[in-house]
Amino acid sequence: MQQRDWSTAVAALVLLAFSLTGALLLVSLAPEMYRPWTVVWFVGLAVVAAVLRWFLSAAGRGSVRGRLLFWAHTALAATLVLLNPLFGLYGFYGYVDASRLARGRELAAGVAATAVVCALSQTGGPPSALFTPLFIGLFTAVNLAIAGAMARADRGRQRHTEELERAHASLMRAQEDNSALQAELVAQARDTGVAEERARLAREIHDTVAQDLVAIIAQLGAVSSTDDAAERERRLELVHETARKALAEARRSVRALSSPRLDEADLATALGDLLTAWRQLHGGQARLIVDGDPRPSGNDPALLRIAQEALSNARKHAAASTVQIELGYEADQVRVTVADDGAGFDPATTRPGVGLASMRGRAQDADGELTVDTSPGRGTIVTATLPGRWR
């Protein structure tokens, strides 16, 4: 069942009530022009118009029933206007009915019929001197022109509304696509963050606890192969000291990934401690050179780890007996260079190990760079240059 258009029905019935009230008032004010006997007729026809309006409000758009009711109602409106011109107020609503119920040529005919009804009202009806074919035609033309302008404006409004609806639908689709893309990017960022965090933790473990454990294993092997009690005691003391540091590193990793060696010392002192430990463990020569004015940098932990890894590689892979660390401070950057006299390697044919990848990763994470100058038999020079980020 077609749903009733209450807004249309109420608006039309209000106009009909105003028209009826005005018609009654016009008869009472000018009985010589608009005869009292017409009251019975236009009151009765107004009631019929109200009934037709009730059915019209429930008629479907473009339905046969609605179109028949429209033409019957238009004829009734013309009759009411001929009885009393003030019913033209109600007859004007025929434009709304025509646009709602008719289509194509029938819509044009309905608009023209409504224009004629309005022209009959505007000329004053049969009692008026203006009620002639000439004036009726002129008023009809004016009404058609106004109706045409209103129709064009309505079509423009409808097109604009349709464009807005299409734009809104497009924006909604774009928003849905963007939401899906954003969710995908968030997921990718989360996965990337997890992967980077895993790599960072792997570097931390490799550069701290793992290296200390390797040193402990090496010292224990040396202890088992010597008969010198003093030498065993010295190496066991080194094992104890290294194990203590490894435990401190493990606890620090749980607490926060910053070097404990930098908690109570600057970078130069921490590097000196590394060289002292390296000399005690491996028995070689180690030297530190500081160039410039030492000052705390936001990249000190990364520089310390890079130097620590380079020292570990110098003994473990290159079998170096002499190492040197140069710490240089410049206007906007800090440079750490670790040089050894070990075996070196051919970068073109040697696949980088975990240690070198760890150093490169730390340098890149700090927006710096790392270079390796080496060749077989000529030792290795590792240089890390990082932004100062002065505290």
What does the pLDDT read at residue 258?
Answer: 47
Residue recorded with tokens 């309006």: 53
Q: Tell which CATH architecture fits domain 267-391.
A: 2-Layer Sandwich (3.30)
C-alpha angle with apex 119: 117 to 121, nearest 5 degrees?
75
Name the residue with higher pLDDT: 101 or 151. Answer: 101
- Residue type at position 377: G
**Statement: residue 22 has pLDDT above 70:** yes
Q: What is the pLDDT of residues 293-329, one digit of tens each?
A: 888 888 888 888 899 888 888 878 878 889 999 999 9
Tokens linked to 19? 């028209």
Pairing mode, strands 333-340 and 369-374: unpaired
- The token pair that represents 87 in the structure block: 């019913």
Amino acid at 12: A
What tokens were used for 229?
């009690």
pLDDT tens per residue, range 249-296: 666 655 444 454 565 568 888 888 888 888 887 778 889 999 988 888
For the chain, give every domain's residue range. Answer: 6-131, 267-391
The reported pTM is 0.41
Single-letter amino acid, residue 128: S
| Rounded percentage of the chain residues whose pLDDT exceeds 90 | 12
* 176-218 confidence digits (pLDDT tens): 888 777 777 756 755 664 466 556 666 666 666 667 767 777 7
